[in-house]
Chains A and B, each alone.
Chain A
Amino acid sequence: MIPALIENVMKISIDPIFPAPEWSNSRKGQIPDFSENKFELVFNESTDGDQLKHILKQPNLQDIIREEDEQELANEDDEDDEDDEADDE
């Protein structure tokens, strides 16, 4: 599975940036690639990003995020208190 995965990664992430030069006589570059690429596009910022930005701006969601931040801060405070108590001991 891993060699096929790496091959598929290169085809998507590297090959489009470094196409074979026009003067190349590489046979590989001349043969159409009919092999299946098992990567499937599930997110494209240019088409999905705007909708998400809209969602993230919703006031009720910002409240949720803020509450979670406060919860994290509270937990950190608790940990600090525990550290202080440990130092006192």
Chain B
Amino acid sequence: MVTSINGNICGYWYKDGYIRTACKEFSLKNVANKYIHLTNDAIQKSSNSYGKYEDGNKLSYKEFQKHFTFHCPGMKFDFENNIIPQMKKLATDTIKATHMSIDSKRNQHSFELFGYDFMVDENQKVWLIEVNTNP
């Protein structure tokens, strides 16, 4: 969230969030299949497999960690101490980079809530996909 109060911009990171999942297994062999890589509800809800693996194709941070701890113990996946700090750093960088122009008219007392979309690759590196208003 970004607030603009008395002409001063502040950026806040929200400590909670959720994981959106695809209901078809990812493969580079058929990227035309939107169900394997577009996790938006608008897309996934049209699939017969929507909700088959996760309720509403969503996982909490805790559920996501539990999945890796149980199924992939060798990966030493640590969502709280490795993934979240990367997401927070990326989000902070976007605010630092845009704070001069994000509210150029310096409207008195305003705020905006942003939704940040991230992906995590096989090396546990976090990538920022996009930032949206009205999440």
B9 at the interface (CB under 8 A from A): yes
B11 at the interface (CB under 8 A from A): yes
Interface string of B4-44 (1 = CB under 8 A from A): 01001111111111100000000000000000000000000
Contact indicator A1/B18 (Cβ below 8 Å):
yes
- The contact of A12 among B3, B8, B16, by CB within 8 Å, is B3
Q: Which residues of A contact B88 (CB under 8 A)?
A: 42
Name the interface size band of chain B.
Answer: 20 to 34
**A10, closest chain B residue (CB):** B111
Contact indicator A12/B18 (Cβ below 8 Å):
no
CA distance A17 to B5 in the complex (A): 9
Which of B14, B95, B111 has the most CB atoms of chain A within a 10 A radius of its CB?
B14
> Which of A24-32, A33-41, A68-76, A80-88 lies at the interface with chain B?
A33-41
Q: Which label, helix, strand, loop or mixed, suits the secondary structure of the A interface?
A: helix
**B92, closest chain A residue (CB):** A42
Q: Which residues of A contact B5 (CB under 8 A)?
A: 13, 16-17
Name the interface size band of chain A.
Answer: 20 to 34
- The contact of A39 among B1, B8, B95, B99, by CB within 8 Å, is B1
15 more A-B residue pairs beyond the given contacts A43-B95, A45-B8, with a C-beta to C-beta distance below 8 A: A1-B18, A5-B16, A8-B14, A9-B111, A9-B113, A13-B1, A38-B15, A40-B13, A41-B10, A42-B91, A42-B92, A42-B95, A43-B9, A44-B8, A56-B100
B interface residues, Cβ below 8 angstroms from A? 1, 3, 5, 8-18, 60, 88, 91-92, 95-96, 99-100, 109, 111, 113
Q: List 27 contacting pairs A-B, 8 Å CB cutoff, sorted by A.
A: A1-B17, A1-B18, A1-B60, A5-B16, A8-B14, A9-B111, A12-B3, A12-B12, A12-B111, A13-B111, A16-B5, A17-B109, A38-B14, A38-B16, A39-B1, A39-B15, A40-B15, A41-B10, A41-B11, A41-B12, A42-B92, A43-B10, A44-B8, A44-B10, A45-B8, A45-B10, A52-B96
